[in-house]
Structure 1
Amino acid sequence: MRQFLLTACLLGFLWGTSAQITPVTNTAFYPYGPGTPDILDSAADDGTSGAVSLATAFPFFGNSYNDLYVNTNGDISFGSAVTGFTPTPFPVTGNRVLAVYYTDIKTSNGGRSGYIYRRETTDAAILARATTDIQTALPADHGSFVATWVYIATWHDVGIFGASGDGHNLRNTFQLVLITDGCKSFTLFNYDQIQFLQGSTNSGNGTSGTGPNPAQVGINGGDGIHYSLHPYSRTTDLYTLPTWTDPAVPGPPGRWVQRTDLALTGDGPALVCPTGFREIGDDLCLKPHTQPLDYDAAIARCAELAPDGRLFNIRSQAHNEMLIGFLQRFQTRTGRGRGLWTGLTDKAAEGTFEWEDGTAFDPEGYTNWAEGVLEERQGGQRDCVFMKKDDGWQWNIQKCETRRERNAFICTAPKAPVPSEC
């Protein structure tokens, strides 16, 4: 009997503690806390829920995850807990994280100093609301999206590590809502009140909740490259998150909507070279074409290979040297002495060279003319510039169309967003 009464009292204490809170009525927020099936995490400092198994895998930055971690310091992570308290600027390597308000949070200041609630749900009403929110926010691209799964994590009235004096009264309330149809995924960052920027660590002030390292708000893909940041991240503008509205995305004040299944770089999708093109350095996509063609036929072929495909134009010594190294291997497949079109011509106006993309040629800039080539033009019959091994890879000029002097060529094309499989 004594054990029963002790258990009953303990449960009553726990229920009473949870019931003391009054969930916010902010229209951006999904229902949470008492009256919902939420799990209430224990009060903690640098804590985590541990791995939470999911009934539906969540697509995140090009991968899918069957569990997640809800962490005290204002984030949800994948693959492992992220409990550090220093908001290192994204992108970083290792942490695959949704940082709703990543700073040094403590919910165990002398007992309770905040509540962290979480739940996975397929409740029909919640799914309907999530569907409407995404269709309303992104009607052009996702007007037919239908949510099949939602995860809600809420940090209610959470406090800061190292609170002192009036700092004990500073509290923030924010929420992450993860939404997917099993292929596409989205996250809603919801904010109700922001009263502190950071804890006392990282040179912060525990009384005012201010300092030189404000909270980070964004998404990190974990590879050191792909990420997305809220425009107010790590600034004093964080105080205004509850009233902020995205000028490009319809929705209630205090909400930031992000698609999270695709890899992002900055605020745009990751860019890759077109199929069949090789990435050279950080910004070039090249495809060698061994079949020799006339100049105009080479241009047409590049346009067929990729959207905005064109002949590679040599604009700098670095490009020229890079190509020579590339061509040492490539040359054996183009035939002995075969040349390579450079994309430079004066077909339109004799003596006035321009690049294949229409930009003017700067004779004072980088050039690599073979000796005497400009003086030996044969009355203007030669209009297209090429380079070949037999001439030490210097620039020479020949007829643009002739059976005996067709050249190989290299196409280039801009990077494009990674296509979605959804």
Structure 2
Amino acid sequence: MLSVGILKVVTFQVVLVSNVHRTFILINYGDIAETEQIWLAGYNTADSVNSFTIPVTSAPELSSSSNINVNGRSSFHVDGSANLPTNFLASGDGEIVNPTADDGSSDVIFLQQPFKYFGRTYNRIFVNNNGHLTFTEPLSAYNPSLDSGRDIIAPLWTRLDNRRGGTISYREDKSSAVLAQATAAVKRYFPSIPFAATSAFVATWDSVPYYNGGGVRHTIIFDFQ
């Protein structure tokens, strides 16, 4: 009897929003398929002083989790400043596509506007195929561990394989439409912090399959940004 694979799709997005003084992470989750692979969602700093793991027990629960009372959305203030009080962003001009490679990464991306991350300021970033962003060097690791001695943002850290399909792309967007959308989101979730975005770095994993190791019948695909 012919075995037919089951196509499972997950959808999520990560946006780094900043102006000269303040920086935020917005993570949006749509439908998230169950997987038997190891996975993790959160962020960490190199010294692990600032670390957060989204507290769910299964990947599909990300779609209903929130730290801001909006199902499927989490938002974090990450510039490290003291005493400071559902939808995807559309594709835009200048989208750059990562090479297809097992455990691959982008080339170094030099940011037009530096990004402050818990007291450190970075002017470059890497988009890694296995679902995370790093600042000092590319990272091929697919077994998730936030306590890794590096600054990392991991909207969905697991093993992916863009050789089998999908697209991983990124851009730094300063268009008025995107900045207005990002500013509105930050103001909604952090109303006591004066903020107007001047840059948004958007990374998108579009229909990228999980790595199947050559022996898994199910094909599981996810989109995130």
Q: TM-score, normalised by structure 2?
A: 0.59
Amino acid at match of 2:147: P
**1:69 corresponding residue in structure 2:** 126
* Alpha-carbon distance between aligned partners in 1 of 2:140 and 2:118, rounded to the nearest angstrom: 21
Pairwise CA distance, 1:131 = 0.5
Alpha-carbon distance in structure 2 between the residues aligned to 1:163 and 1:38: 31
| Offset, 1:104 | 1.0
| Cα distance, 1:173–1:163 mapped onto 2, change above 3 Å | farther
Aligned to 1:92: 148
Q: CA deviation at 1:58?
A: 0.6
Alignment of 1:295-310 (within 5 A): none
Whether 1:148 aligns to 2:198 is: yes
1:92/1:114 CA distance change after superposition, 3 Å = same
2:119, 2:197 → 1: CA distance?
19
Counterpart amino acid of residue 115 in structure 1: T
How far did residue 100 of structure 1 move? 1.0
Output the CA distance in 2 between the equivalents of 1:43 and 1:28. Answer: 27
| Structure-2 residue corresponding to 1:53 | 110
Q: Are 2:99 and 2:105, in contact at CA under 8 Å, matched by a contact in 1?
A: no
Aligned length: 141
Gaps of 5+ in 1: 1-23, 176-422
Greater relative contact order structure (CA < 8 Å, 6+ sep): 2
8 Å contact kept, 1:68–1:79: yes
SS of corresponding position for 2:217: helix
C-alpha deviation, 1:164, in angstroms: 3.4
Instruction: Say which SS state the counterpart of residue 166 (structure 1) adopts.
Output: coil
Residue type of the alignment partner of 2:114: A
Match of 2:154, as an amino acid? Answer: A
Whether 1:44 aligns to 2:101 is yes
1:129 to 171, 177, 181: 181
Aligned to 1:385: none
CA distance in 2, matches of 1:66, 1:108: 29
Is 1:115 matched up with 2:171?
Answer: no
User: Does the CA-based 8 Å contact 1:52-1:67 persist in structure 2?
Assistant: yes
1:37 deviation in Å?
Answer: 2.7
Equivalents in 1 of 2:182, 2:210: separation in Å?
A: 31
Highest Rg: 1 or 2? Answer: 1
Shift of 1:79: 0.8
Partner amino acid for 1:166? R
| 1:37 maps to amino acid | G
Aligned-residue identity in percent: 30
Displacement of 1:91 in angstroms is 2.6
Q: Which runs of 4+ in 1 moved over 3 A?
A: none
**Cross-structure match for 2:89:** 30
Deviation at 1:92, TM superposition (A): 2.6
Q: CA deviation at 1:138?
A: 1.6
How many angstroms apart in 1 are the aligned matches of 2:210 and 2:221? Answer: 8
The separation in 2 between residues aligned to 1:150 and 1:96, in whole angstroms, is 19
Equivalents in 2 of 1:150, 1:127: separation in Å? Answer: 7
Task: Compute the displacement of 1:165 (Å).
Answer: 4.4
Q: RMSD over aligned Cα, in angstroms?
A: 1.8
TM-score computed with the length of structure 1 as normaliser:
0.32
Residues 43, 114 of structure 1: 8 Å contact kept:
no
Provide the C-alpha distance between the structure 2 equivalents of 1:124 and 1:163, rounded to a whole number of angstroms: 45
Distance in 2, matches of 1:67 and 1:79, equals: 7
Cα-to-partner distance string for 1:132-187 (whole Å, 9 max, x where unaligned): 01001121x22x210011100011111122153433x2101111xxxxxxxxxxxx
Counterpart Cα distance in 2 of 1:78 and 1:40: 18
Q: Which has the higher helix share?
A: 1
The superposition leaves residues 321-371 of structure 1 with CA deviations (integer Å, 9 ceiling, x where unpaired) of xxxxxxxxxxxxxxxxxxxxxxxxxxxxxxxxxxxxxxxxxxxxxxxxxxx
Considering fraction of residues, name the structure with more strand. 2
Match of residue 215 from structure 2: 164
Return the letter of the residue paired with 1:30.
L
Supply the distance in 2 between the matched residues of 1:85 and 1:40 (Cα, whole angstroms): 20
* CA-to-aligned-CA distance 1:44-71 (integer Å, 9 cap, x gap): 2110102101111110121000100000
**Unmatched 5+ residue regions in structure 2?**
1-12, 14-29, 31-85
